[in-house]
Chains A and B, each alone.
Chain A
Amino acid sequence: MIEFIRILSITIMPGFIIFVLAYGHLKGVNVYETFIEGAKQGLTTVVRVFPYMMAMFVAIGVFRSSGAMDILIRILSPVTSLLGIPAEVLPLALMRPVSGMASTGILGDILKTYGPDSFVGRVASTLMGSTETIFYTLSIYFGAIGIKKIRYTLWASLLTDLAGLFASIIICSIVFGR
């Protein structure tokens, strides 16, 4: 199983690239021109993301270097250690359902502070990639069609988020070791 996950990590990207390009070519698409056409959007995407990332980065920089982050982590650590969650990941876990851009900023800060190849860095990366911005998505989708009563949607969504948090810790412990 662990070996399978490792192989998956190595092969999925190149496999996907080969598949998409070969499929495109077989369907008669000029893959090079089309690729360039899509790649042009990369610049506008990054320009759009930049101010949000920078704003969150500055705030986290102040919050962490002042020692406020350590105080927060210490306050929360009895709860997190009871549940087996690395306290350093908690700011990300709390921000993830609220804002995609802000949690991207927090992940960047965690990777910078603890290192991308540390246990905390790997759990944070896995968590970020396997969960979504709940509140934003629900308000956009339900808001667009005027739904007032969303019934059990929020609870079930938060449950998936919690499942993602614990699963990312357990799976990273198994695959990479703590």
Chain B
Amino acid sequence: MVNVIWLFMILIGFLVALFFGDLEAATQAALDNAKYAVELCIGLLGIYALWLGLMRVAEKSGLVEAISKKMQGIMSFLFPDVPAGHPAMGAMTMNLIANMLGLGNAATPLGIKAMNELQRINKQKDVATHDMCMFLIINTSSVQLIPTTVIALRSAAGSLNPGEIVGTTLITTIISTLVGIIAAKMFRRLY
């Protein structure tokens, strides 16, 4: 899909420039933006390194596990069909926390492990269970607490206050996640 969109933007862009606009300016924009991508990535590098450093400390100190213990109550409300103490629960909790902290690399393998565990208690192996649906709906609604990439991009673009969107992002994330949880609970009754 990205393949088609990307090709479309370049072809249509050059065609529009050829017939209606300025072809030289379009070529110049392509070269300028290639250069700007480098500047942006250098900006990203600092903030990524800072964040990944902190996250390594959070993992090694057992903070991630400590938070997951605190979340047992919410987890059994969200996933009522998973028996208490089942490994699926642990993997899902760790995945959600990794996502909250913006640890995308750690989150994906944990998420796949969670799906494998959920599949074991699934009776129809090609049909998703309600708990799988809920898990993925929460996952796709984004639960990230601090949007590091966005802050880095804003800072690279010369924002006077790159972090000012942290509060609005958090509130928005909470709203969209709640919408997802409510929708999943309602669909569960309907299906």
- Using a CB–CB cutoff of 8 Å, the interface residues on chain A facing chain B are 4-10, 12-13, 16-17, 20-21, 23-24, 27, 29, 31, 34-43, 45-46, 49-50, 53-68, 71, 95, 97-99, 102, 104-105, 107-109, 111-112, 115-117, 121-122, 125-135, 137-138, 140-142, 144-153, 155-157, 159-161, 163-164, 167-168, 171-172, 175-176
Contacts and interface: CB of A to CB of B under 8 A. Distances in A.
Contacts of A111: 153-154, 157, 159
Given A39-B49, A42-B49, A126-B165, A108 B29 contact: no
B75 interface: no
Contacts of B83: none
A8 to B, nearest CB: 4
Given A45-B48, A98-B5, A130 B153 contact: no
Closest 8 CB pairs of A and B: A38-B56, A42-B49, A129-B147, A61-B33, A66-B17, A65-B29, A39-B53, A116-B159
Contacts of B187: 151-152, 155-156
B177 interface: yes
Contact of B175 (A40, A117, A164): A164
Contacts of B5: 95, 98, 102
Interface of B: 1-2, 5-6, 9-10, 12-17, 20-22, 25-26, 28-30, 32-34, 36-38, 40-41, 44-46, 48-58, 60-63, 105, 108, 111-112, 115-116, 118-119, 125-128, 132-133, 136-137, 139-142, 144-147, 149-150, 153-154, 156-173, 175-177, 179-180, 183-184, 187, 190-191
B37 A57 contact: yes
A67 B20 contact: yes
A168 B168 contact: yes
Contacts of B140: 97, 132-134, 137-138, 157, 160-161
Given A65-B28, A65-B29, A145 B167 contact: no
Interface of chain A: mostly helix, strand, loop or mixed: helix
Contacts, number: 366
A57 B54 contact: no
B129 to A, nearest CB: 9
A63 B10 contact: yes
Nearest to B108: A140
A49 B149 CA distance: 11
Contacts of A58: 10, 30, 33-34, 37
Contacts of A146: 119, 125-126
Contact of B167 (A104, A128, A137, A175): A175
A120 to B, nearest CB: 12
A38 B142 CA distance: 23
Given A50-B37, A108-B40, A146-B125, A24 B168 contact: no
A24 B165 contact: no
A82 B169 CA distance: 24
Given A12-B146, A57-B37, A148-B126, A142 B176 contact: no
Contacts of A167: 171-172, 175-176
B60 A59 contact: no
Contacts of B12: 63, 66, 68
A11 to B, nearest CB: 9
Contacts of A98: 1-2, 5
A38 B37 contact: no
A160 B180 contact: yes
B136 A138 contact: yes
